Amino acid sequence: MDALPDFVKLTEAFGHVGMRIDKPADVEGALREAMRLKDRLVFMDFITDQTENVWPMVKAGKGLTEMLLGSEDL
């Protein structure tokens, strides 16, 4: 998915706060910072390994009512 826009820059262009989190060790600190900004809209872009399954998941061509909640649904 290399053709996606830079969501952090796009968020900031509209005057909001954008955060990109690309290391698991940075998640807790980023969440704390976002919660501290109570008066601001915060968009968080979590970068994950492309081989990881991220839950919940909607398979291609399926509807939201067919959402998979975990590996037991595969």
Domain count, the chain: 1
* Whether the Cβ atoms of residue 58 and residue 68 lie closer than 8 Å to each other: yes
- CA-CA distance, 73 to 57, in Å (whole number)? 10
pLDDT at 7: 95
Residue 2 placed within a domain: no
For tokens 């698991």, the residue is 24
pLDDT at 54: 86
pLDDT at 74: 81
pLDDT at 36: 98
Q: How far is CA 6 from CA 1, 2, 56, 74, in A?
A: 12, 10, 23, 31
Residue 44 is part of which domain span?
Answer: 7-73
Nearest Cα residue to 34 out of 17, 47, 21, 11: 17
Residue 1 placed within a domain: no
Q: How confident is the prediction along the chain (74 residues), in pLDDT tens digits per residue? A: 568 899 999 999 999 999 999 999 999 999 999 999 999 999 999 999 888 888 999 999 999 999 999 988 88
pLDDT at 22: 95
